[in-house]
Chains A and B, each alone.
Chain A
Amino acid sequence: MTPPKSTLVYQAIADNVQRVVRGKPEVVRLAVAALLAEGHLLLEDVPGLGKTTLARCLARSVGGTWKRIQFTPDLLPGDVTGVMVYHQNAERFEFHPGGIFANVVLADEINRGTPKTQSALLEVMSERRVTVDSVVHEVPRPFLVVATQNPIEMEGTYRLPEAQLDRFLMRLSVGYPDLSSEVLVVMSDCAQVSADDLTAVVGIPELEAAIAEVRAAHIDLAVCEYAVRIAAGTREHAAVRWGASPRGSIALVRAAQAVAATDGRLFVTPDDIKAVAEPVLAHRLVLTPDAELGQRQPASVVAEVLDAVAVPVTAG
C-alpha cells in the first residue's frame, strides 16, 4: 500500500536530518511532526547537545527561504519584524523586511533577546503577519519558527513569558546521546559533515501539501475527547496553578495528527495523543509555588495525568 504523501515528506526530512543529528530518532520525529503540523518548535537544553544543529538541519532540509536570527540583548524588534526606511531617491518610505520573513526562521538563543524583541517574535508567530505603519505584511507560508534556548545560566537573559509560551506547539529537549551515538557524532564532525552540507529535500509545495494532508487526518470523537480530558486533567492536578488552555487541547490533537502521519497513518489513535502529550502540554503548565519548591517538573505532572485518564474503548 502506498504511504501517504505526508509520510514520505516526513521520511525525507527525517532521513536528511539524521545524517547529522545522530541517535535521536524520536526527537527528530517529533521535530519534523511539528513542521508537518505547521507548529512552532522550541528546542530547550543545555549547550552543546545539538539544539542549533537540529534547528539548522530542519531549516536546510526544507526548500524555500530560511533565516537565522541570533538573539542578543541589543537585538531590536525591528530587526525581527522589519523597518520602514526612507529612500531619498524615490522620496518615499520603503519597508525593509526583518529576519522573520522566511518559510523557516531559526531563532537562536531566544532567551537572550529583550522582552520587547521576544514579544515581537511571539506576536508574529501567533499572527503570522507584521504590521508596520499600519501596513500589514504577511509572512510567507508555510511559516515555521524553530527557537532554541538554554535553560541554565539564566543570568543576563530574559525568560520567555509563561503566558506566551503556548505559541510554541511543542517544546523538545534533545538530551545527551548514548555512547555509540556520541561516537558517530564525533566521527561526523571529524569528517566535517555538518548542517551546512545538507540540501533541501522537500520543496515548499510538497511541504504545503503534506501539512494540508496532516490537517485532514481523521480523528475519532472518542480520541478527541480523550485528548480534551487529558488537557482538562492538567487543570485539576494539585501541583498545577494554571493548566493547559483549550489552545493546548487543539495543539495536542494537531500534534497527534502529525505524529500519526509520521507513522504512515492518516488517523489518530490514543497512542498518538500519549506520544505528544508531554512535549505539547508540559511547557504550558504553571506549577504552584509549593510544587516548584518541591522540584516538581511539569513533565512528571503530565505523566501522572496520563496514568489517571482512562483510554477510550468504543464498540467495534
Chain B
Amino acid sequence: MTRVVAVFLAASVAGLLFVPVFGVWPLALVLVACAVPAFAVAVWCPWASWRAVLAVVAGLVGLLAAVRPADPVGALVVGATEAWRDVLRSTWPVRPDPEAVVFVPLLVLAASVFGVELLHRVRAPLVALLPALAVAGLSQTYAAAGGAPAVVAAVAFAACGAAIVAQGIPWAAVALGVVGAVLLGLVPAGPAFSLRDNESAPLASARVASPLSEVAVRLGAPDTPLFEYTSATPVDRWPIAVLDEFDGVEWTPGGNLRRMGAGLPPGDGVTVPTSTRSASVRMRGLGLPWLPSQAWPATVTGTDPLVAPDRGTLLAEEPVTSYDLTWWEPGVDGATLSEAGVDANAVGGLGGVGEVPAGVAELAEQAVGGMRSSFRAALVLERFLRDDFRLVDSGTLPVGHGWPQLERFLLRDKQGTSEQFAAAYVVLARLRGIPARLVVGFSGRNSLVRNGDVLAWPEVAVAGAGWVALDPTGSARTSAMGGLPGATGQAREELPPAEGLAEPLLPAEPPATAPGAGVPWRIVVWAVVAALLGWLIAVPSWVALRTWRRRRSGTVADAVAEVRDRLRANGVPVTSAMTVRDMAAAVPDPEALVRLATAVDTTLWSGAGVDARQEAWEAVRALRSEFARRPVPVRARAALRYGYRAQVAPRMPVGALT
C-alpha cells in the first residue's frame, strides 16, 4: 500500500506543477476528487485484471462530480483533445471551466493508474514513477517551476521514490530527487521556455479596420452612441486599441492575443502600489472586435474576450451586450510623477518610426531642448505640440497618420485632429528616446460615449507607474480628475516655463551588465540548497523507513542487513563479501556482533529449524546502543551518511561474480 500511495502522490505532485496555469485551489480540488476514488480502487480492488479499468472509472466519476460539467462526455473529450492547446492560448491562471480544468486530472489519473500497474508488473519498482515524471516534464513545458516550488516538488519525488524502493537500493531514489531538484532548481521560474511562447489565440475576423483610420470618420457623425458605462468614479478615457508598431505608413497593434483567463496582474513595469477600479459597460453601437478597456485590465466578466496582455486591449469575436471590467490603477502623485524617469524596457515603447523625413529629428530636439529622457521631457514635448499646433474638430478634417501626413502636420500646416497629434507625438518622443505608444479610444467625460468622444492619444512608459496617457491636443481634463490622470494633470500644471526648466534628479544610468549576469550564482545557490535539502531529508527518512520495515519483518537476514548498513554509516568498511564474524573482527567491541553471528549460524545454516530472530535483533539493539554512546557530531555524520560506496565488494581484475 505504501508504494501505491507513493505512486499516486508522485503523480499528484506532478499535477500540482500546473499550479501556475490553473491556480492552486481549482487544481487541488479536481486532483483530490479524481485521485482519491482511483486510489481506493487501486488498493482495495480484489480483481487484479480489472484494477486499472475500475480505477480509471472511479477517478473519472470523482472528477466529473467535482466539476459538474453540463455535458460530461463533451467536457472529457474536449479536455482530452483540445484543452492542452486552449490552455496555452489563454492568460494564466486559466478560467476554471470544466473543459479546461479536466486536462490535468486526466493526466494525473493516467499516470497514477499506469504507474500502479508498472509497480505490480515490472521488477524494477522505480519504473512506476516514470509516468509521473512524464507528467512533471510536460508541466515544465507549460511553466517552468524554478526556485522553491521546484525543490519542494523534487524532494517530494525523492520521498516517493524512497518509499517505493524501500527494499531496494535507496541511493537511486535519493539521486533521483537530488538530480531532479537540481535540474528543476536550475530553471529560473517565469522567463524560461514555455510552449505558450509559440501559441496565440487567432482572431476569427481575418481583417480588422484600424481604429486610427476611423477617427475622422467618427468625428463626422459625432452623435452616434457607442456604449455607456457606470462606475463609482469618473473614467478619464476608454482605450480600445494600442498601436505601437509604425513602419512609416501604418500604425498597427503588436503582441499576441490570448483568451482572457481568470485574471491578469498589473504589468511588470508597475512597481508602485496599485488599487482596483471597476465599471460596467453596456454596448450600444460600437462594432466588433474592439471593446473599451484600460491599460491594466484585471478581470472581465460577462463575456469571454481575447486580450493582448501587454497592452490591455480587449477584443470580442461575438456580439457583446454588456460586461463588467476591473482594472489596476497605479497609485502615484503628481510630484513623484514629475520627477520620474522613463521605462526603456516597456514593451512596444521604443518601436520603429520608419524612414524619418528631413527636419523632423531637428524639430524633436528643438521641442525637448536636449533634455534627458524623463517624464518631464515627455511633458515638455506635450506642451510643445499643445502650444505650437492647433486642434481642428470641424470642417474638413485632415486624415492620415503616415509620414507624408505627419510631415505636413509637423513642418507645414501645424494643425490636425488628435490622430495627427498623437502619431506625431509618438514619433517625436521615440526620436528623443522616450518610450511612447499610440492609443485610440474614447474620452470618458460622458457616461454615454458617442462618436464625437473618439480620441487618439500618446502614452509614455514611466518607470514604476506604467503607461501614462498624455494630451498634446490640450483637450484633457485637469488635476480634478484624480488617480493617474489627475497626477498627470498636476505634473503638467507644475511644469516650469521653458526658461526655468531643469533636468529631474534621475538615478545614474545603471552600469551595463552582460545579459544573464547574476543568474549563475542563483543557479549555484539553488543547486547547493537542493542537494543539501534532499540529502538532509532523504537519507534520515530512508534509513528510518528501512529500519522500520526490517524490524517489522524481523528476520535474521534483515538483522544482518541492518547491522551491515549501521556499520557502513559509522564508517566501518563493510563489503558484501564479509560475514558477520568478519564484521566483528572489524569493530573494537565485537560482543554484539559475535552474538549476532551465532544467531545467524544457528538459524540460517544449521538446518535444525532453530529460530534465533529474537537474539539477532537483541544484538542489533545492543549495537545501536553502542553507537548511541558516540559523540553527537559522530552520530550526526552517521545519520547523514549512507555509505553506498562501501557496500560494493572490490572488483576482481577480470570477470564479474554476481
Binding site for B on A (CB under 8 A): 218, 220, 222-223, 229, 232-233, 236-239, 265, 267-271, 274, 304-311, 313-316
Contact = CB atoms under 8 A, between A and B. Distances in A.
Given A310-B576, A311-B577, A316 B557 contact: yes
A220 B652 contact: no
Interface residues of B, number: 31
B605 A304 contact: no
Interface string B208-219: 000000000000
A308 B577 contact: yes
Contacts of B600: 269
Given A237-B654, A238-B653, A311 B606 contact: no
B653 A239 contact: yes
Could you say which of B556, B577, B606, B649 has the most chain A C-beta atoms within 10 Å of its C-beta?
B577
B577 A233 contact: no
16 contacts: A222-B604, A223-B605, A232-B657, A236-B655, A237-B654, A238-B655, A239-B653, A269-B579, A271-B581, A271-B597, A274-B582, A305-B657, A307-B577, A308-B577, A314-B557, A316-B604
Given A237-B653, A238-B654, A305-B652, A315 B557 contact: yes
A309 B656 CA distance: 9
A311 B576 contact: yes
Interface of B: 555-557, 560-561, 575-579, 581-582, 597, 600-601, 603-608, 613, 649-655, 657-658
Which secondary structure characterizes the binding site on chain B? loop
B651 A308 contact: yes
A211 to B, nearest CB: 20
Contacts of B649: 307-310
B556 A316 contact: yes
Given A220-B607, A237-B654, A238-B653, A316 B579 contact: no
Contacts of A238: 652-655
A313 B658 CA distance: 13
Nearest to A314: B604
A310 B579 CA distance: 9
Nearest to A311: B579
Contact of B657 (A270, A274, A308): A308
Contacts of B597: 271
A309 B557 contact: no
A237 B655 contact: yes
A167 to B, nearest CB: 27
Given A229-B657, A233-B655, A239-B653, 13 more contacts: A218-B608, A233-B652, A236-B652, A238-B652, A265-B606, A271-B581, A271-B582, A304-B652, A308-B657, A309-B577, A310-B657, A311-B576, A313-B557
A305 B649 CA distance: 10
Contacts, number: 90
B654 A307 contact: no
Contacts of B555: 315-316
A265 B601 contact: yes
Contacts of A222: 604
A220 B579 CA distance: 16
Contacts of B613: 316
Contacts of A271: 579, 581-582, 597, 601
A237 B653 CA distance: 7
Q: Across chains A and B, which 8 residue pairs bring their CB atoms closest together, nearest first?
A: A236-B655, A238-B654, A238-B653, A310-B576, A218-B607, A308-B652, A267-B606, A313-B557
Contacts of A310: 576-577, 649, 657-658
Contacts of B578: 311
A223 B577 CA distance: 13
B653 A270 contact: no
A309 B581 CA distance: 16
A231 B357 CA distance: 96
B309 to A, nearest CB: 62
B605 A269 contact: yes
B470 to A, nearest CB: 82
A42 to B, nearest CB: 27
A267 B607 contact: yes
Given A218-B606, A220-B605, A267-B605, A313 B654 contact: no
B307 to A, nearest CB: 65
A233 B561 CA distance: 24
Contacts of A305: 652, 657
Given A238-B652, A238-B655, A313 B607 contact: no
Nearest to B656: A236
Contacts of A313: 557, 560-561, 604
B564 to A, nearest CB: 9
Contacts of B582: 271, 274
